Structure 1
Amino acid sequence: MGSFLKEAKRRGDTMDNRNDRKHTYKEAGVDVRGAERAKGKMGALTASPDPRVLNRGGAFASLFVPRFDGVADPVLVLKSEEPGSKQQLAFEHGRIESICQDLIHHLVNDIVVMGAKPEVVLDTILCGRIEQETVLAIVEHLAAACRGLDCSLVGGETSEQPGVLATGQYMLNASILGVADRARIVDGSRIRPGDKVVALASNGLHTNGYSLVRRLMADRPEIMAETIGGMRFLDAILLPHTCYYRPLRDWLGDPAVHGMAHITGGGIEGNVKRILPEGTRARIELGRLEVHPLFRVIQRFGNVPEDDMLQTFNMGAGLVVVMEAKRVSALIGHLKTSGCQAYEVGEIVAGNQDVVFVGELQW
């Protein structure tokens, strides 16, 4: 009985010692003071020359004056996006600037195809631990990407989540607000048989298909020795997403443009179908599609079926414009002067709100 009491007392003393241990938020992995120091430096990085941005350091939300010069009947255009598993590769290889450009370029493209001009962006940075140098670099590059596209990074959220994400692991996403004149919205409703489909060239993967590519890199590591257009495979797949805002800016609201589609996940078929009105069909000539050489390498190393390639990747067409036939050459000429390659790849015919491929890809 005496030994039992002694053991019970020993256990009680151990529990008391455990209960006496002080637990802090910092010990749990969240450094509030460190986060405050990092956030205190963000204001200078996100300073905007736009007088409509009324931000003040430490405010709970961002202030923006809804004044849109030259827009008679403004309609706000909103979108959220994240750069998918490409960001894991980018952070693994120190490509912070390029993944920030990916995120902003993708967002801007998604509202440009609605006929909108970008205005302001809010970001979210999730991480296992706030590494000040990395977090400030992310904010700096996001803000720079916005300024280069006539918009402003006006705020966001930086969240330290130990136990959810590992130290050194980051997840980015952002939301954008743009504006379009109601009379100049581009939503595909004016697409009709006889319109032409114009493809704007991509520079590669953009931000889609990386789960397949990462699997291929693991299964066939020799693919890393491939070169595409003089670039190493890794450099080619981490090129920032092409942004089409500046090349298309002067054509936003042009009555000849009846619809636009950003070619992301789902490929040409999945995205063009989203803008087609009833009674129409997009007829895409595969033989005219200028396949980016990166996709030839991916298909060859992965033995990826052609229909899976078309469904997963943009295949070299990053954005599609559906427009009046008589204005096609004018648009293509304008885009060329902006350094954007474009070409006719199909037409609109009567159909059942679908996309059909004819001919064969020229691998």
Structure 2
Amino acid sequence: LVGGETAEMPGMYEGEDYDLAGFCVGVVEKSGIIDGSSVRIGDALVGIGSSGPHSNGYSLIRKIIDHSGQALDSEFGDSTLGETLLAPTRIYVKPVLNIIKQFQVNALAHITGGGLLENIPRVLPRNTRAVIDSDSWQRPAIFDWLQEQGNVEAREMYRTFNCGIGMVMAVSAEQADSIVDMLHQHGETAMVIGRIEAGDDDADRVVISDL
């Protein structure tokens, strides 16, 4: 096996239950690989909005639901709590591929399990850090509800959930606004959420303004 994962889902698999997972393998020209090596100090970070928790953090979510005592069919915004929590994961393949065809993308970080704090460092070169302004996007209400009902610390929120940002792109500052505009044309919510600065590898690789 050259890829795939075994998901950790306590409370879902018990006894003789098992996880059957699938994956696909792709091929890319070596010259087209985006591995973060082109990231430079001064690059802008473009965030693409998520549709919800994106299938990550649900062990904690279930504990929060139990603790809150709130019914899944209770009203939440224009929907119900259960439907909001189970909103389908937004897939960014098509818009991101279109961006790559027209612009230089230096790094891509899919914000899955581990949130912003653990996924962005995977694509950062040595001695750099990502500085993120948490006021640059509107965090979906479901994350506020989870934090309040579960009494979850801010750092744990950013380490467990995407908190409203499902993908982060490192691009040149000069092209950032054009990339955001193109993402809007593709129906995505996107914005510049931060920048790449010089940093110490032994310090925090991701600095978020409200932490």
Q: Do both proteins adopt the same fold according to a TM-score greater than 0.5, normalized to the shorter chain?
A: yes
Residue 82 of structure 1: how far off its partner (Å) = 5.6
Residue 83 of structure 1: how far off its partner (Å) = 6.1
Residues 206-257 of structure 1 show CA distances to partners (whole Å, capped at 9, x for unaligned) of 0111010111122222153544441111111112211000111212365521
In the alignment, structure 1 residue 318 sits paired with structure 2 residue 169 = no
Percent sequence identity over aligned pairs: 32
What TM-score, normalized to structure 2? 0.88
Residue from 118, 135, 149 that aligns with 1:270: 118
Residue from 74, 90, 96 that aligns with 1:248: 96
Q: Extract unaligned runs of 5+ from structure 1.
A: 1-77, 89-126, 129-162
What TM-score, normalized to structure 1? 0.53
**Which residue matches 2:78?**
230
CA contact under 8 A between 1:84 and 1:208: conserved in structure 2? no
Residue from 16, 31, 56 that aligns with 1:164: 16
In the alignment, structure 1 residue 187 sits paired with structure 2 residue 39 = no
* 352 and 246 in structure 1: CA distance in 2 versus 1, 3 angstrom threshold: same
Q: How many residue pairs end up in the alignment?
A: 207
**Which residue matches 2:184?**
336
Distance 2:68 2:142 in 1: 15
* 194 and 180 in structure 1: CA distance in 2 versus 1, 3 angstrom threshold: same
CA contact under 8 A between 2:99 and 2:182: conserved in structure 1? no
Distance 2:78 2:168 in 1: 27
Residues 26-47 of structure 1 show CA distances to partners (whole Å, capped at 9, x for unaligned) of xxxxxxxxxxxxxxxxxxxxxx
**Which residue matches 1:300?**
148
Give the aligned residue type for 1:271: N
Greater helix share, structure number: 1
* 242 and 87 in structure 1: CA distance in 2 versus 1, 3 angstrom threshold: farther
CA contact under 8 A between 1:309 and 1:315: conserved in structure 2? yes
Distance 2:10 2:134 in 1: 27
* 213 and 262 in structure 1: CA distance in 2 versus 1, 3 angstrom threshold: same
Give the aligned residue type for 2:44: K
List aligned pairs for 1:45-194, cutoff 5 A: 79-81=3-5, 85=9, 88=12, 164-165=16-17, 171-194=19-42
* 285 and 86 in structure 1: CA distance in 2 versus 1, 3 angstrom threshold: farther
Give the aligned residue type for 1:179: V
In the alignment, structure 1 residue 290 sits paired with structure 2 residue 142 = no
Q: After TM superposition, where is structure 1 displaced by more than 3 Å over at least 4 residues in a row?
A: 81-88, 225-229
